[in-house]
Amino acid sequence: MTAQSRVWSEPAEDDRELYAAIKALPPLIVRADGRNFRRLLQQDFSKPFDTRFATGMADAVTLFFQQSGFDPLLAFVFSDEVSLCFTHVPFRGRLEKLDSVIASYLASAVTLVLGFTEPIAFDARVIPICDLNEGLRAYLAHRQAEAWRNHSNAYGYYGLQTLGLSRRAAETRVKGMKAAEVHELLYRQGINLNETPSWQRRGMIVAREAYEKAGYDRKAERAVTVTRFRIVQLWELPLFGTEDGQRLLTRLFAREAISTRGTDVV
């Protein structure tokens, strides 16, 4: 080899990592979905919806707010799906870090809360949104519509099984049915889909909500009122596409306008 020969060396490990250089800018959504949860929930859980499982999902997301080190603005939860909204993200927004850490934390939290003895997994994806007003509202309205479809199909699937269809046949049949046909089928069985619990139809929110707390400023020797934030679970949601839904989101966005906060849990 001559002095003029070009010296070759292996690229640094970081240079070979897929997606290492891809970064996501907030505001953004990280949506995590449970993997193969239907099989996991076949035993010990009511069908088509189970309050214990829903409570476990909400409590696992609350644990994420409390202990994960992330700072989501809010989370929308239905079934085994969690959409976390962020206005600030760690890891300099590195895509693979956000996806992997959030998915693994939620899997651990759900396992702890519900006491699963089998391994579980979530996948995750990052979804940019243009702003916290129209962008987030449109996203939540879309996922809430998916919650309704999931709710209708789940009731239809188990309703068909009560008529004697096998699991596979019921799954195939309900996929080919129109919404009105599912409604009629269930109505004949005494189930009105519009009267099922709200969290089944519209999902739940976990968020930090502002509240006023009386205090005393010893230095100024006067009573004061301060704004604090507590983690809340909202199980009765309006439709996000309505004025009531917009008012709820505006209220939950209040923390973005306040630089200092304390956090209590209720």
Write the pLDDT tens digit of every residue in 87-106: 999 999 999 999 999 999 99
Q: Of 160, 185, 200, which residue is a domain's last?
A: 200
Residue 175 lies in a domain: yes
For residue 92, what are the domain limits?
20-132
Give me 56's structure tokens.
Answer: 């476990």
pLDDT of residue 6: 53
Give the list of residues 6+ apart from residue 157 with CB closer than 8 angstroms, or none: 48, 170, 171, 174
* Average per-residue pLDDT for the chain: 89
Residue 7 lies in a domain: no
On whether the CB atoms of residues 54 and 125 are closer than 8 A, the answer is no
Helix (H, G, I), strand (E, B) or coil at 12: coil
pLDDT of residue 139: 97
40: number of Cβ within 10 Å = 18
Residue 196 lies in a domain: yes
Lowest mean pLDDT among 10-19, 208-217, 218-227: 10-19
Q: What is the DSSP letter of 222?
A: E
Per the structure, how many domains does the chain have? 3
Q: Of 87, 112, 132, which residue is a domain's last?
A: 132
Do 170 and 235 share a domain, yes or no? no
Residue 235 lies in a domain: yes
Do 225 and 155 share a domain, yes or no? no
Do 144 and 126 share a domain, yes or no? no
On whether the CB atoms of residues 265 and 228 are closer than 8 A, the answer is no
Give me 128's structure tokens.
Answer: 């940019």
On whether the CB atoms of residues 138 and 29 are closer than 8 A, the answer is no
Token pair 């709820």 in the structure block, residue: 248
Lowest mean pLDDT among 11-15, 17-21, 233-237: 11-15
